[in-house]
Amino acid sequence: MNLTRAFLAGAGYTAETIDVSKLNINYCRGCFACWTHTPGKCVIADDMAQILEKLIQSDVIVLSFPLYYYSVPGPLKTLIDRQLPLALPEMDEAAEHGDHPARYDFSKQRHMLISTCGFWTHEGNYKSVIEMFSRCYGENAFGTLFAGQGNLFNLPNMPEVAEKAGDLLPLIENYMEVVRTAGKEWAKGGIQASTSELLAKPIMSKEDYERAANSSW
């Protein structure tokens, strides 16, 4: 969450944080009752009802998650599956590969994905994530901030480890400052190319990071 907090601080957003892993959200049954018997309402009585209301009312949605086996963690995927009530049952004739139109007007809603992974780089590791959210929100219709070397961003919260990190801490703080800049730019319209280039630069070299990661096991 450190990257997300820095991004939100830069954007100047006052956001409500929801920890999906702590919610009672059951799997979608595929019963389609939300289309046939209770239009727009899921028949499963759990925490998803309040989440759907928040999704409908939100101007900006920031999804913050670690990369789990080249995709989103299970609780987040379950939440995504349970968003079926937000769509209409009729097919969208304009969709080339098939789709369902939204039940509500989300045309002004903005979406941002923030994620870290344990590899030395994010490049090549988020293809399935991008593909999934391209179907959910539309191709190029959402922002992304993906970073490799995700475990480094927790070092400032681990004094006993940070003490041994030496010169890494200033590099991490420099990166966090770039994240804050990215948040500021995205709030005004979009992250600048020069900022994206800085975000794509790894803090440690591939060799140094992988050596350190391997030694931790």
pLDDT digits (tens, 9 = 90+) for 55-96: 999 999 999 999 999 999 999 999 999 999 999 999 988 888
Q: Is the predicted pLDDT of residue 50 greater than 70, yes or no? A: yes
* Mean pLDDT (whole number) for 5-33: 95
State the pLDDT confidence band at 20, using cuts at 50, 70 and 90: very high
The CATH code of the domain that includes 168 is 3.40.50.360
Q: State the pLDDT at residue 197.
A: 96
Is residue 216, in this structure, part of any structural domain at all? no
Average pLDDT over the chain, rounded to whole?
92
In a domain, 179, yes or no: yes
For the chain, the three-class secondary structure string (H helix, E strand, C coil) is: CHHHHHHHHHHCCCCCCCCHHHCCCCCCCCCCHHHHCCCCCCCCCCCHHHHHHHHHHCCEEEEEEECECCECCHHHHHHHHCCHHHECCCCCCCCCCCCCCECCCCCCCEEEEEEECCCCCCCCCCHHHHHHHHHHHCCCCCEEEEECCHHHHHHHHCHHHHHHHCCHHHHHHHHHHHHHHHHHHHHCCCCCHHHHHHHHCCCCCHHHHHHHHHHCC
**pLDDT (0 to 100) of residue 34:** 97
- Which tens digits make up the pLDDT trace of 36-46? 999 999 999 99
Query: Can you give the pTM of this predicted structure?
Result: 0.92
pLDDT at 215: 84
Does residue 217 belong to any structural domain of this protein? no
In a domain, 45, yes or no: yes
**How far separated are the first and last CA of the chain, in Å rounded?**
24
Query: Looking at the domain assignment, is residue 97 inside a domain?
Result: yes
Residue 72 burial by Cβ neighbours in a 10 Å radius (0-12, 13-18, 19+): buried
Length of the chain: 217
Q: Is the pLDDT of residue 161 over 60?
A: no
- Residue percentage of the chain with pLDDT more than 90: 80
Domain contains 170: yes
Is the pLDDT at 166 greater than 70, yes or no?
Answer: no
- Between 152 and 184, the higher pLDDT residue: 184
User: pLDDT-derived band of residue 17, with 50, 70 and 90 as boundaries?
Assistant: very high
Residue 168 or residue 134, greater confidence = 134
Q: What is the pLDDT of residues 138-151, one digit of tens each?
A: 989 999 999 999 98
Number of domains in the chain: 1
Mean pLDDT value across residues 114-132: 96
| Per-residue confidence (pLDDT) for residue 24, from 0 to 100 | 97
Domain span at 55: 2-211
Residue 66 lies in a domain: yes
